[in-house]
Structure 1
């Protein structure tokens, strides 16, 4: 099956007062029709900037795409005007903080209905009816009574549902959700993820989930793409990656996730901190935090290659994957 979204060797840079920061450094991945792909990694790993590049909203003039390609259904998203023309209609995004994304002075129903008025020429009455239907679909209780409420009158979980309703207004084929469960309690997190899964199945759309929390996407994603310092360090089917981590970063993230009712007595956090993107170490960027690091790791950046003894689709950028596979399992 051909990919709906194809990102190849993407490089995004930002000009700062201290120098040029490479936020995304050669990232490549694909999303098939109807597939759910999770972009995982700590803050600063390049996940959100990658999504911004796909949407065509990399902040300017500081940010710019300097290399690579992004194709959606065979169309070049980096060509002038292409991403803007597809935004909302074909590709939609749910942002991390719904309160800052919603306009505080407009009623929620009007904000959702504006999508139909602007893009489909709907009347006020038609737009209001469409907004009500969407609010009901995303599970907002007493939706007819809440159409005229303002964003501050909704809880965090309900505001996120409003954002999802707005994203789905024009029935996009690809939905990008950037940290959709951040700052929500565990129960509400599960509800939002269940909602996204149900809506995806109903719409038949592809879904890209951006998160730092491996547990959130464990039962939702088909494949995972782990990023570190702007680079893809491991990718593959989610169960394969979770059960046979081939990169020390992935293994470290797995070791730091609590398991309810599990036998793990103590979490094992990754030592150190993410690198300064203005001063990356030579060779492997994870080297200062890795117990497997040696001279080769300092001299040569590892390529993203198939892991020994694992399916070809499971790849990791590590010079010593055998050791990681053995020790982690």
Structure 2
């Protein structure tokens, strides 16, 4: 498939009181037209910062893109002003907390309609009608009656639907959803994921899902990109990664996920904590938490490479993938 967006060796740094933090360290991946890719990892792994870099909204002056490239449909997004020109029209984003993203003093219909007024030159009446259609499309009940409600009058799930409606207003070709189901109950999580999958299929758009929850994207994503301490440690088709994990971090995440069929008697948590980005360990950043680590892992940082078994698109940054493949839960 033809890549719509390519991220290559992306490096994002932040100045802090303790020194320079490298939040994204050489991340590379791509998203094909019409494809759904999940960015997975624990908090602090660099997922959201990667999305901010794509959108051109890395917080300044503390943050900066220190290296690498991001291209969208052949255009360099790191050229000054390039991302701004594409935001909303070509690339849209659904943020993690809809309550903080929506303006509390404006009615929901007006906030959705503003997208059409600002970018399409629509009249107030036209924008209101377009907002109503979008609210119906994303499954907000009694949409005509809720146009004039304020964000605090919506439940968490309904607010997330409003955010999705705003993101879809200009029919983007790429939608990035950053933790779209955080703080929602399991039933509402499933509804939001089903909604995103349906809209993605109807629009034919590409979708990037950012989450720490492997179960949320299991039935939605085509490929996954696992990040740890700012680096991509495993990537590949979702079924291959889930069923034949090639990195101990991925295997550990899979071992800590409950299963309904009773095949696993106990959950196996990953020991230890993610590293301090100000003082990363030498070699593989995961080695202090890894059962397979040896002296090589403590001195040499592994790069992504194909696993011993097909398909070649399944890659892991590990010196001992055979051991992980043979013993992964």
CA shift for structure 1 position 230: 0.1
Query: Paired residue for 1:155?
Result: 155
3-state SS of 1:4 partner: strand
Matches within 5 A, 1:84-99: 84-99=84-99
CA shift for structure 1 position 310: 2.5
Distance 1:275 1:72 in 2: 32
Query: Paired residue for 1:116?
Result: 116
Distance 2:245 2:59 in 1: 34
For residues 152-182 of structure 1, what are the alpha-carbon distances to aligned partners after superposition, in whole Å with 9 as ceiling and x for unaligned? 0000000000000000000000000000000
3-state SS of 1:127 partner: helix
Distance 2:64 2:282 in 1: 24
Distance 2:152 2:67 in 1: 41
Query: Paired residue for 1:101?
Result: 101
Using structure 2 for the length normalisation, give the TM-score: 0.99
In the alignment, is residue 139 of structure 1 matched against residue 139 of structure 2? yes
- The ranges of structure 1 where at least 4 consecutive aligned residues each deviate by more than 6 angstroms after the TM superposition are none
CA shift for structure 1 position 128: 0.2
Distance 2:249 2:133 in 1: 43
For residues 111-158 of structure 1, what are the alpha-carbon distances to aligned partners after superposition, in whole Å with 9 as ceiling and x for unaligned? 000000000000000000000000000000000000000000000000
Distance 2:13 2:217 in 1: 28
CA RMSD, Structure 1 to Structure 2 (Å): 0.6
CA shift for structure 1 position 2: 2.1
Distance 1:106 1:328 in 2: 51
3-state SS of 1:275 partner: coil
Query: Paired residue for 2:251?
Result: 251
Query: Paired residue for 2:205?
Result: 205
Distance 1:215 1:298 in 2: 31
CA shift for structure 1 position 207: 0.0
For residues 7-63 of structure 1, what are the alpha-carbon distances to aligned partners after superposition, in whole Å with 9 as ceiling and x for unaligned? 000000000010000000000000000000000000000000000000000000000
CA shift for structure 1 position 303: 1.0
Query: Paired residue for 1:182?
Result: 182
Query: Paired residue for 2:23?
Result: 23
Distance 2:211 2:310 in 1: 25
* Structure 1 residue runs without a partner (length 5+): none
* Structure 2 residue runs without a partner (length 5+): none
For residues 70-124 of structure 1, what are the alpha-carbon distances to aligned partners after superposition, in whole Å with 9 as ceiling and x for unaligned? 0000000000111000000000000000000000000000000000000000000
In the alignment, is residue 52 of structure 1 matched against residue 55 of structure 2? no
Question: How many residues of Structure 1 are paired with residues of Structure 2 in the alignment?
Answer: 329
Distance 1:259 1:193 in 2: 19
